[in-house]
């Protein structure tokens, strides 16, 4: 996917999903929809589960989901590591932004940073962007699906050094996501190109 010549304004080839992959996507979607339905009612009963299944079937028939390629598998331990790291970042960054808001001093400076992800899949792009967006101090302005690049507005940056450090941080976040849910091939690509040498757009 990365071998696409960057001058061609076409989306990277997303291969059509196999039958089993589509079936798996449907199972995941139905499970999630039934879970939301049961949570809305608040009690776990057969009536709620059957009602949820009916609603999920109707929803999926009326609004079919776009295909999502999920080539990897969920690894519980790296997933836990990702969540712990995310929670720590959340607390630290929230405190930093709150401090920027109430401190007396010069107006905070910011930067718009491009970070080119190593694994250009829709799922990885979306998850990395979501995680970054949820952390205070970083805001996704634009995502280039063709090259897999995120353009991020970062609050409280004062120097080029900090820009580079933030870019490395994005790639480390991507690596944690891939460790948790990526395929072996994606994992290899992330490990081959460490965060300190990639990510700078051409």
| Contact footprint for another protein (CB under 8 A) | 7, 9, 36, 38-43, 90-91, 94, 97-98, 100-102, 107-114, 129-130, 133-137, 139-142, 144, 149, 151, 153, 155, 157-160, 162-163, 201
Alpha helices for 43-159 (secondary structure H): 46-62, 76-102, 122-134
Q: Give me the residues paired with residue 152 across strands.
A: 113, 140
> Which two tokens mark 153?
């507005």
> Are the beta carbons of 38 and 31 closer than 8 angstroms?
no
| Helix 160-181 × helix 76-102 angle, to 10° | 150
> Are the beta carbons of 152 and 112 closer than 8 angstroms?
yes
Give least dist CB 174 to another protein, A. Answer: 16
Give the Cα separation of 24 and 30 in Å (integer). 10
Q: What sign has the CA pseudo-torsion 128, 134, 136, 140?
A: positive
Nearer to another protein, 79 or 187 (CB): 79
Nearer to another protein, 53 or 97 (CB): 97
Nearer to another protein, 141 or 184 (CB): 141
Give the Cα separation of 18 and 28 in Å (integer). 16
Give least dist CB 191 to another protein, A. Answer: 26
Nearer to another protein, 38 or 187 (CB): 38
Residue in 179, 177, 163, 171 with CA at minimum distance from that of residue 117 = 171
Give least dist CB 8 to another protein, A. Answer: 9
Nearer to another protein, 36 or 54 (CB): 36
Give least dist CB 10 to another protein, A. Answer: 11
Give least dist CB 35 to another protein, A. Answer: 10
Nearer to another protein, 40 or 61 (CB): 40
Give least dist CB 41 to another protein, A. Answer: 8
> Are the beta carbons of 193 and 118 closer than 8 angstroms?
yes
Q: What is the DSSP letter of 142?
A: E
């Amino acid at each position: 996917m990365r071998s696409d010549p960057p001058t061609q304004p076409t989306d990277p080839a997303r291969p059509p999903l196999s039958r089993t992959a589509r079936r798996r996507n449907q199972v995941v979607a139905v499970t999630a929809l039934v879970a939301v339905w049961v949570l809305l009612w608040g009690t776990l009963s057969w009536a709620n589960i059957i009602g949820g299944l009916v609603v999920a079937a109707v929803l999926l028939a009326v609004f079919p989901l776009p295909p999502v390629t999920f080539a990897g598998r969920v690894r519980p331990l790296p997933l836990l590591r990702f969540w712990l790291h995310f929670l720590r970042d959340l607390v630290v960054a929230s405190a930093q932004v709150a401090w920027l808001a109430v401190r007396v001093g010069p107006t905070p400076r910011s930067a718009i940073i491009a970070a080119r992800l190593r694994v250009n899949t829709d799922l990885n792009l979306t998850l990395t962007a979501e995680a970054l967006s949820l952390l205070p101090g970083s805001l996704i302005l634009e995502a280039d699906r063709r090259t897999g690049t995120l353009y991020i507005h970062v609050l409280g940056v004062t120097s080029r050094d900090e820009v580079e450090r933030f870019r490395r941080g994005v790639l480390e976040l991507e690596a944690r996501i891939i460790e948790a849910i990526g395929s072996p091939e994606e994992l290899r690509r992330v490990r081959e190109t460490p965060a300190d040498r990639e990510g700078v757009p051409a």
